[in-house]
Structure 1
Amino acid sequence: MSSPLAYLNGRLVPFGTAALPLHDAGFVSGATVVDNARTFRHTLFRWDDHLARFHRDCEACYVPLDATDAQLTAAADELVRHNTKLLPPGGELQLVTFATPGPLGFYLGEEANGPPTLGMVTYPLPFARYRRFFTDGVTLAVVGAQGESLLSPTVKHRSRMLWHVADYRARAINPGALAVLTDGRGALTETSVANVLAVVAGVVTSPPRETILDGISLRVTRELCASLGVPFAEASLPTNALGRFSELLLTGTGFCVAGVANVIAEGGRSHRLPWPGPVYRKLLAAWSDLAGVDVERQFTG
């Protein structure tokens, strides 16, 4: 078969025929729990961690998950095995796993909802999307604060309207900028694609874990800091203290780790940061060693 496969409700199907009903809660309500993993050398990276987080978030969001870990792992491995054959030389995959409460019965005049929807799709890792992270450094634009929510910010889900608006506003400020939100008290939290880290007095510092996504790449970066002897801490990162940050970093599934070259604060003032900084270079090398590939070269060619 020369077309990619997808996994939907227990079956592997051609990607082009996979479809959800228009009354699925994931479509009409945005009620979707999601995970995004990637491959290195065509093997899923930290899949056990991604799977454990997916289980946790489904439970937190009252989305039933009937498939076993073994079933999910078998489906993921088969998708990767098949779909990597369609990649160009040097290509890698990202694997999206998603779950919804399923169809909403009242749209059809029925009382019962469900059954729940479970799916997996892959797409080629978009090296071009992140290439400038490695050639020019990242530009961030502070565009506002996280909204009040009944849903914990640690849960990874598929309601993306907030980020759609935030990144649109960031691009209006600077076409190459990525939005970063604050916590309402003026401290940095995260972006649409990455956790944020600052280097403060030699310590790699993350916002408090209860205020941000529980990122797998953030976990890996914390572990790499420990192996390198680089101190790691959690603390507020106020935007009025940008001058105290010797480096600002992003860490995310698609690109692993990147350095920030510029932050545009609210009001339009730019804060330039050293790029590429020494901690970033050290962590990038450690990521490459762990993954068994030259991460930067994957994006820059």
Structure 2
Amino acid sequence: MQSERGSNAHTDSSVARARHAIRWAYQNGQWVEADGLSLLLDDLAITHAVTAVERIRAYDGALFRLQDHLHRWQRTTSVLRLSSLPGREQLSSLIDQTIQKNAPWIEQQSGFGVLLVGSPGATPNGNQNGSTLIIDLYPIDEASMQRRIGDGTPIVVTDVMQPDPHCWPRDIKVRCRLHYYLADLAARQSDPAALGVLIDTDRSITETSLANIVIVEGGTLVSPPAGRILRGISLQVVKELADDLGIPWQEDVISTDRLKAAGEILLTGTSCGVWFANRVDGKATKDHRPIYQALRTAFDRII
């Protein structure tokens, strides 16, 4: 009887492993289980938060706007002077290998994306030891994304300011995100589901931790000036769709009052492309969202 129980336990364990495929990640030339990814404590990603990052969403197994993401990645790594990282062609090949190696894991997900992380690496005895590169996959809960698309997300304007662009350009994507964290922390004091909106030095609004912001005024889409925000890939896609639909677009400084008076407030980001704000500082936005609906339909068509 003990032998049978031991045999069944072994079989059950094998079945459990089969049910939960391992997710493999690439780190500096090696394949490791994603749960085992680690950085040395003297990696500059930890000591100085010097970390390039890129998230690339897949739709129906195909990466969305991969080349645009790689272009931004190159811009970011160039600013951070991560010169020893693979070039675009080699990086694209490594991403393909990561996806292929994770085919069993991908089959078990409702959706997935690719995560790129780069840093200058560790600096033992003050000498740089070569850049760190991680390529990992992350799961996407499609049901949650559909709820976000259908129901929207509340936003709260905070007193947290974007770092001055003289510190680092706002169009690069980095993991130094303390300002985003603090903005969300402040927003959730009044609305636990809200994203915090960061402000600029003139107290105009900029963006949230997850999304760029676009408002609708009299049938025109208005976004903050490009130099004041992250260059969102989804933001650019929505702009292209607006052009195709003949919807005017302009860049302008957006005050808090202007935000609250907008006919619609759109949010754009990698997680689900384009969705909307359903509340601003606790006040519900308008239910009628014709421009959002037109852009959402157009976005769904291209994905």
Give the TM-score taking structure 2 as reference length: 0.87
| 2:121 maps to which of 95, 102, 112 | 102
CA contact 1:42–1:80 (8 Å) conserved in 2? no
Amino acid at match of 2:25: A
Asked which structure has the greater CA Rg, the reply is 2
Q: Is the 8 A contact 1:181 1:189 kept in 2?
A: yes
**Whole-angstrom distance in 1 between the partners of 2:52 and 2:294:** 34
What does residue 200 of structure 1 align with? 217
Q: Mapping of 1:12-91 within 5 angstroms?
A: 12-87=31-106, 91=110
Of residues 261, 264, 268, the one that matches 1:251 is 268
> Taking structure 1 as reference, are residues 100 and 284 closer, same or farther at Cα in structure 2, changes over 3 Å only?
same
**Structure 2 gap ranges (5+):** 1-17
Alignment match of 1:133 (pick from 140, 148, 161) = 148
In 2, distance between residues paired with 1:39 and 1:259?
21
Q: Of residues 163, 187, 202 in structure 2, which corresponds to 1:147?
A: 163
- Give, in whole Å, the separation in 1 of the partners of 2:108 and 2:50: 36
Identical-pair percentage: 30
Do the aligned partners of residues 65 and 228 (structure 1) sit closer, same or farther apart at CA in structure 2, a change above 3 Å counting? farther
- Structure 2 partner of 1:166: 183
Cα distance in structure 2, aligned partners of 1:242 and 1:215 = 19
Paired residues for 1:204-283 under 5 Å: 204-264=221-281, 270-275=282-287, 277-283=289-295
Partners of 1:231 and 1:84 in 2: CA distance: 42
Deviation at 1:155, TM superposition (A): 1.2
Q: CA RMSD in A?
A: 1.9
In 2, Cα distance between equivalents of 1:43 and 1:155: 24
Which residue type is aligned with residue 284 of structure 1? R
Matching residue's letter, 1:182? I
Match of 1:294 in 2: none
Distance (whole Å) between structure 2 residues aligned to residue 181 and residue 18 of structure 1? 31
User: TM-score w.r.t. structure 1 length?
Assistant: 0.88
1:132 to 1:228, Cα distance in 2 relative to 1, 3 A:
same
Structure 1 gaps of 5+ residues are 265-269, 292-301
> What letter corresponds to residue 43 of structure 1 in structure 2?
A
Deviation at 1:115, TM superposition (A): 0.8
CA shift in 2, pair 1:9/1:243, >3 Å: closer
Q: Distance in 2 between matches of 1:70 and 1:147?
A: 32
Residues in 2 aligned to 1:219 and 1:99: alpha-carbon distance in whole angstroms: 24
1:251-282 residue CA offsets vs partner (Å, 9 max, x unmatched): 00011111112110xxxxx4432235011111
Residues paired across the two proteins, number: 282
CA distance in 2, matches of 1:241, 1:17: 47
Query: What residue number does 1:118 align with?
Result: 133
Map of 1:183 onto structure 2: 200
Distance in 2, matches of 1:129 and 1:167, equals: 19
Query: What is the distance in 1 between the residues matched to 2:82 and 2:287?
Result: 42
Residues 119-177 of structure 1, C-alpha deviations (whole Å, 9 max, x = no match): 11111013355454234322100111323351111111001222112111111111111
